[in-house]
Structure 1
Amino acid sequence: MSAAGRGRGRPARDRGQGGANQGGAGRGMGQIDEALQMPNPNAEQVPMTTYIRDIRKLGAIKFVRAADPLKAKKWIDDMEKYFEMMDCTEVQKRMIAAFFLWGEARQWWQTVTRTTVDIAAMTWEEFKTQFYEKHFPRSVRKKKGIEFMELEQSNTMTVSDYEIKFTELSRFAPHIVANKEHKIRKFEWGLISHVKRLVVGYRCDTYAKVVECAMAIEENNNNIFQKKKGVTVTKERKRKGYFLRSSRK
């Protein structure tokens, strides 16, 4: 075969190889995407001591007992926050959480392990259900939900104080805060009257905006009050000075 013939033959092979390479690259990217969406198969192989060490570094603390049920809820919330940073299974999450149970909480957990048929298969969600029944009972959650529904800003509370309490208790009324419009209107409804009257007129469409609006109105009201107070004090001082000068004459 002539050199020209061989030259004409090469592009066909090159094109074939290029197409194969492109197809391989496409399949490779697809495999990477698929792997990123799948749970880590090596999670089971990581020693539990490594997970314990890592979650301690994140700030996990032991749970003994909670006189205030809200502290029990906070402990669970904190553990879930730490788990978001860790690549472990639902069963491993339960094992890690159980490790941090001490004192009275540990005694309770030992009772659970003795009375649960397949404790080794218990997941984090199942653990939370058991934990809440003991340390954060339904009656307390219902009471907190009612407290949220009746929450109003008192004369001694700033808008910031009210917002903090609103956020704290809103966890117990998910059916309200899950709806953006209902959450905004509930916040407005609980504001002190002279602030609420102005906030409602703005028809804020996000929770952040209604909080910001209420704080701005409160600050403006405080500034006006301070100016009026200053004028009153000045007039009072002038009045006292007039009587003082008159008494000297």
Structure 2
Amino acid sequence: MDSGRPRARRLQADMDATDVVDDLHGPVSGVSLMQWVGMKLDSFDGSGTPIHAADWLSYVEDKMEAFDVLAHDRVRFGTQLLKGEAQIWWKGVQSARTAAHGLLTWHEFVRQFERRFYPVTFLDRMKIDLNDYMQDKKSVAEYEVGFNQIIRFVPHVAHDEVEKAKHFHQGLKHSIRQVLGAFPVVDFRTTVEQALGVEMQQMYTADLQKSSGGEQSRGQSDRKGHSGGPVHKKGKFQRHQPYHNKSSQSSASGGSTP
């Protein structure tokens, strides 16, 4: 019976040793690296457009937030999803980094990733597209979707709420922009909500005008039909000769009345 005690002591010692290791390494991410790989998340092979690269990076960061992957584990976890050309690029980054540079942070990884997969010519084109992008016949919601696709490649504007709101404001329809001129530019979300409100009010007003216009045209047609009735009857009555009896004829010809 006493043989179980040494085993219990060894288990307790192992648990204490694990606690010490955890204390040395700090907090632990919500999932282990093995669990992360076993999820079969979307990988990135370096092919495709810069938009595909940006979508993948955003996708991975969302997953890291959802599974509580801590900052010091993100590079190790994220690079497990690289393959093909992207994996070759990552190996080159690692080999060029000496021990003096220390461990690569996730922020540095993102910066290196953007430099590699977002060409300078593409970024310059996005800056031009941002200035030329207009709402035109799109709804405010559709305009916002396209605007967000462009603005993420222009970080100096994307990270400044006021500048971002101003660019969004400039591309709106004149009728909406004219109304928003009465409001100060606060931030991007406020400007979008104001534009949506103005658009809804304009649609409501247009529907009222269509409705009142239809009722007015129906009223006019009803009045025309009512006034045309007697005229039609009068013309019909005039086509018949008045009734004359014999006494009136004889009186007219100088004859005596009976």
Q: TM-score, normalised by structure 2?
A: 0.62
Could you give the per-residue CA deviations for residues 190-222 of structure 1, whole angstroms, max 9, x where no partner exists?
211111111111224233322222111111111
Rg larger for:
2
Flag the 1:148–1:239 CA change in 2: closer, same or farther, 3 A: same
How many percent of aligned residue pairs carry the same amino acid? 18
From 140, 151, 172, give the equivalent of 2:133. Answer: 151
- The runs of 5 or more residues in structure 1 that have no matched partner are 1-37
Flag the 1:194–1:39 CA change in 2: closer, same or farther, 3 A.
farther
Please name the residue that 2:69 is paired with.
86
**C-alpha spacing 1:224/1:115, structure 2 compared with 1 (3 Å):** closer
CA contact (8 A) 1:189 1:196 kept: yes
Aligned pairs, number: 201
Alignment partner of 1:49 is 2:49 = no
Give the alignment's Cα RMSD to 1 decimal.
3.6
1:207 aligns with 2:188: yes
**Offset of 1:137 from its aligned partner?**
1.7
Output the CA distance in 2 between the equivalents of 1:111 and 1:65: 9
Unmatched segments (≥5 aa) in structure 2: 1-22, 233-258
1:39-81 C-alpha deviation (Å, 9 max, x unpaired): 944759x96313324xx38xx4222455332121121122223
Equivalents in 1 of 2:27, 2:170: separation in Å? 51
**Using the alignment, how far apart are the partners of 2:25 and 2:219 within structure 1?**
79
- C-alpha displacement of 1:176: 2.6
User: Which residue does 1:117 correspond to in 2?
Assistant: 95
Match of 1:194 in 2: 175
Classify 1:225/1:176 alpha carbon distance in 2 versus 1 (closer, same or farther; 3 Å). Answer: same
1:123–1:87 Cα change, 3 Å:
closer
Distance 1:109 1:214, change over 3 A: same
Match status 1:75 vs 2:56: yes
- Which residue of the partner structure matches residue 164 of structure 2? 183
Write 1 or 2 for the structure with the bigger share of helix: 1
Aligned to 1:138: 120
Separation (CA, whole Å) in 2 of partners of 1:169 and 1:65:
20
